[in-house]
Structure 1
């Protein structure tokens, strides 16, 4: 597991020990589609950077596994990982689906 995920799970355990029981955590968005990344690493077409998006998806999958494991260890807790990657990438890839572009 990534060190970031391990540290995050430790933080959640500390919050749990302080009485928190419900956790809603947002996943990582498609960071390769951020305007700054498209400008710096997106090439001449300023497209989304696949490597960065792949890293975000990998981290999200590791977060999901870590959350599943942690939720089994923390009785009476509810951990929810909110997927924001897929809705955002769908808006970027299929903008006409969400409205008219002027």
Structure 2
């Protein structure tokens, strides 16, 4: 008997096929970012640095790993990660205030 292939959106548990829980469309990770800020530019730079640095760190020798990882983190910080984080925190706080009517802490 041929087994049926399942999509990546399913999980087999105790012989049953269950749908994976998707994140809500209202979750903080789905917040739109403003187009008039430098957030998207910084995000793209950081994403490029990480996509280049992680494989390099993984494929390095154990002796080289810390230096490569520390260099990648320094590059991320230099690219403006802290500014981007502050902007995103503000977006999340504004959304919390909008949903709850209360000031986010």
Normalising by the residue count of structure 1, what TM-score does the alignment of the two structures yield? 0.29
Q: RCO (CA 8 Å, sep 6+): is it higher in 1 or 2?
A: 1
Q: Which has the larger radius of gyration?
A: 2
Normalising by the residue count of structure 2, what TM-score does the alignment of the two structures yield? 0.29
